[in-house]
């Protein structure tokens, strides 16, 4: 952000676009106004953008591109109608609109793409998590969530709570997600991990389970419990082998439960990849 939170408004050319827009957008969002002097809507929009830049006082920069002069820039960014406004962040276009828009619409776009107060806290938390400093990551994410009640932060906090063995808190945070966000792959993966953790917590030791399965191959409960241990140890193929056996050996209700557990493992694996494809096909064959 610029010193004194003063608005940054400037003309930009093809020669300085990389420095003034692309590079700058790594530090500060840049709104680029593609305009021309003969364009009547441009003459109405540009003063509005200037007013908004002043109102937000340094939260974003406003760059103006005269397309009559900078035809190469206009072509590079696919400008086909005027005015065109593109919002740059971290070197990429993250939002845009064409034509004169109401002030409220433009404000909504600006608000959507402005950096949040929580962003530095989340970055620090991710660094702490990667370094194994789980308690620090938890504290930072809790502070971030208090600043910005956002489901992405809530899910990250749930994941770190799971990593720390705080399963009840992870489950509570997961339940607090919106219904739509609970259906996202990462949320379903965490829900699956919590379910397998619950199964493993109530299961006999692994050695005992293996001995049981060796003597009673049709013991589907033991196979399911062993699969839970294997999931937690990231032995996903081992878990899928056990669950596939449950699908083949159990009655209807047990088959459906095992099928759901296999789908849960697929969620943990991101729903794609060679292992998922292999066992999705094997599951389909076993069910038909």
CA distance 230 to 203: 12
DSSP string over 78-92: T--SSSEEEEEETTE
Handedness of CA 210, 226, 273, 165 (dihedral sign): negative
CA distance 240 to 228: 10
Q: Is 220 a catalytic residue?
A: no
Identify the active-site residue in 39, 85, 110, 157.
39
Handedness of CA 254, 255, 258, 259 (dihedral sign): negative
CA distance 22 to 7: 18
Instruction: Please compute, for residue 192, the number of CA atoms within 13 A of its CA located in the half-sphere on the CB side.
Output: 28
Buried b / exposed e over 130-165, threshold 16 CB at 10 Å, is eeeebebbbebbbbbbebeeebbbbbbbbbbbbeee
Identify the active-site residue in 42, 65, 173, 262.
42
Q: Is 20 a catalytic residue?
A: no
CA distance 165 to 160: 9
Largest CA distance in the chain: 86
**What is the rounded radius of gyration, in angstroms, for the C-alpha atoms of the chain?**
27
The residues carrying an active-site annotation are 39, 42
């Amino acid at each position: 952000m610029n010193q004194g939170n003063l608005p940054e408004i400037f003309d930009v050319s093809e020669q300085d676009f990389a420095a003034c827009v692309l590079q700058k957008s790594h530090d500060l969002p840049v709104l680029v106004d593609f305009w021309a002097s003969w364009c009547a809507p441009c003459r109405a929009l540009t003063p509005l953008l200037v007013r908004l830049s002043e109102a937000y006082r340094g939260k974003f920069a406003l760059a103006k591109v005269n397309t009559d002069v900078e035809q190469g820039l206009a072509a590079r960014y696919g400008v086909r109608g005027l005015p065109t406004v593109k919002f740059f962040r971290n070197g990429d276009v993250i939002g845009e609109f064409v034509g004169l828009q109401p002030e409220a619409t433009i404000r909504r776009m600006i608000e959507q793409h402005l950096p949040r107060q929580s962003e530095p806290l989340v970055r620090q938390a991710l660094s702490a998590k990667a370094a194994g400093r789980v308690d620090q990551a938890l504290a930072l994410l809790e502070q971030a969530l208090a600043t910005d009640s956002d489901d992405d932060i809530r899910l990250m906090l749930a994941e770190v709570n799971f990593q720390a063995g705080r399963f009840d808190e992870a489950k509570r945070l997961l339940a607090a997600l919106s219904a739509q966000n609970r259906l996202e792959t990462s949320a379903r993966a965490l829900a699956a991990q919590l379910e397998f953790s619950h199964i493993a917590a109530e299961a006999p030791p692994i050695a005992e389970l293996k001995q049981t399965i060796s003597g009673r191959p049709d013991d589907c409960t033991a196979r399911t419990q062993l699969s839970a241990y294997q999931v937690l140890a990231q032995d996903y193929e081992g878990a899928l082998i056990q669950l596939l056996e449950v699908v083949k050996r159990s009655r209807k209700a047990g088959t459906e439960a095992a099928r759901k557990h296999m789908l849960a493992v697929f969620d943990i694996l991101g729903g794609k990849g060679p292992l998922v494809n292999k066992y999705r096909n094997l599951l389909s064959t076993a069910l038909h």
